[in-house]
Amino acid sequence: MMRNFEVAAPPKIDFVDGPGAKPMLIGGEWVAAKSCRTFTTINPANGETIAEIAAADSEDVDLAVAAARRAFEESTWRDLNPHARSQVLLDMAEAIEAHAEELAQLESLDGGIPISITRGMVASTALTFRYYSGWPTKILGTVNPVSDSVHCYSVREALGVCAGIVPWNGPLVMASWKIAPALATGNTVILKPAEQTSLTALRFAEILGECDLPPGVMNVVTGLGERAGTAIAAHPDIDKVSFTGSTETGKKILGASVGNLKRVTLELGGKSPHIVLADADIELAARNAASGFCAMSGQVCVAGTRILVQDSVHDEFAEALIKAMSAYQIGDPFDDGTTLGPVVSKQQFDRVTGYVTTGQDEGGRIASGGEPVNSRGYFVEPTLFEGVNNGMRIAREEIFGPVAALIPFSDVDEAVRIANDTPYGLAAAVATRDVSSAHTLARRLRAGVVWINTHGELDLTFPFGGFKQSGHGRELGAQSLDAFTELKSVMIRL
């Protein structure tokens, strides 16, 4: 049965209502693109235009890199007393908190994410800056044990100009994962937000004017990936690119990096398995599995879209999962009761609904969902397939929408074989009451993150990243600092 609804007019946000196209921040100045080109950002809940935004080309990227390089070489930020640098990061966290509701509203407006979720995402963004504010005073060197005739020590130093390219499914919090550790270690930054969701990055850059950050240390370049993103990836004077997005784009960025052998951190796609053993708490496992592919409208790289269920509990679990899916309320992102908003764009809507058709063409059966939603926005009903094997496209390709497949298995060895039979390796989940099974499966699964009896939980101390074609390098935790520093050894003959 088709769902019918209309969303209300979004709240008035002064930043959006300002005149003209939104400019970029380069070298402490707000500037239009040199070409004067702009692009349109769309409200995915109703398909209407929100604003025009400056569309950068390679010339604009050159200016941003030059500004960031000057700021780095002048060393005002790099050589700032670590205690003072910590205070600036704390000030940034407090500035985010002071504008939390506005940033959450912008995120919901631009990306269609329910306001109940974006409020949490903004709080997490502030917490990220608080966490990394503690690190400038703790990036320590070592004195190395060598001959008495020499003094040898090693230190970590800032890399230089670091670019962050972030996706549209968590624009502000993903940006903080790149900006905060880069600044904590004394680097300068160029942020390239996704063209679908650039507003929070621009407003955040405005808010940074309240903090004591020297001009050029933080720059925001907006534009299309094929122009601005490509120019950043290949730029010979950028020392590092940290990218979150699709595996296909990640490969292009890695290829472009060879020009100057810039450092690259990649957090890419996934096709995560969620294994439900016969001894699991079925109700809890169903709620976790539903969250694993319904939350954020399935637009999550770790989404558990391959749900592997042991034969003996398959039917019981399927019934519980369908019930858990029904708790997700599709609706207006600004309604506090909404738990599932639209996908981000018409292009993404067509992609996701295309996979629903593909799944049926391949012989899959829709157990729940799959019905159209009659709205001007890009809403997709959570959809669960049965009758799926791991060779089907809906089991192998990242859909990035609220679509999942139930895949049966007989024993643990078969579950592991199916789970690892994928080019991806970002995350996995296991539902079991048996501690031994939990630890054994966690060791055997080829994934950077394994959740046991939960799904999607992260912590700032928790290194995050993937195996295989889900990327390389890690974000969050102390380990991320290594990716933003160079190790230098010094030997002095006494």
Instruction: Count Cα atoms within 13 angstroms, Cβ side, for 232.
Output: 34
Closest to 89 in 3D by CA, of 176, 206, 162, 170: 176
The Cα angle at residue 178 between residues 74 and 475, in degrees rounded to 5: 130
The two tokens of residue 125 are: 């963004």
Helix (H) or strand (E) holding 165: strand 161-165
Give CA separation, 7 vs 97, 170, 331, 373, in Å.
28, 22, 7, 12
Which 8-state DSSP code applies to residue 383?
E
Contact 33, 223 (CB under 8 A): yes
Which 8-state DSSP code applies to residue 387?
S
Q: Can you give 329-374 as a three-state secondary structure string?
A: CECCCCCCCCCECCCCCHHHHHHHHHHHHHHHHCCCEEEECCCCEE
Question: Catalytic residues, which ones?
Answer: 267, 301
Tokens 């950043």 belong to residue: 232
Contact 184, 136 (CB under 8 A): yes
Closest to 96 in 3D by CA, of 115, 73, 124: 124
Tokens 């502000």 belong to residue: 172
Strands 467-468 and 48-54: unpaired
The two tokens of residue 411 are: 């024993």
To 10 degrees, what angle do helices 100-111 and 199-207 make? Answer: 160
Backbone angles phi, psi at 486, to 5 degrees: -110, 145
Backbone angles phi, psi at 359, to 5 degrees: -60, -40
Closest to 181 in 3D by CA, of 493, 491, 489, 479: 479
Backbone angles phi, psi at 370, to 5 degrees: 80, 0
The two tokens of residue 274 are: 């969620």
Strand partners, 43: 48
d(C-alpha 293, C-alpha 290), whole Å: 6
Which 8-state DSSP code applies to residue 275?
E
Furthest-apart CA atoms within the chain: distance in Å? 83
Q: Mapping DSSP to helix (H, G, I), strand (E, B) and coil, where does residue 451 land? A: strand
Amino acid at position 149, single letter: S
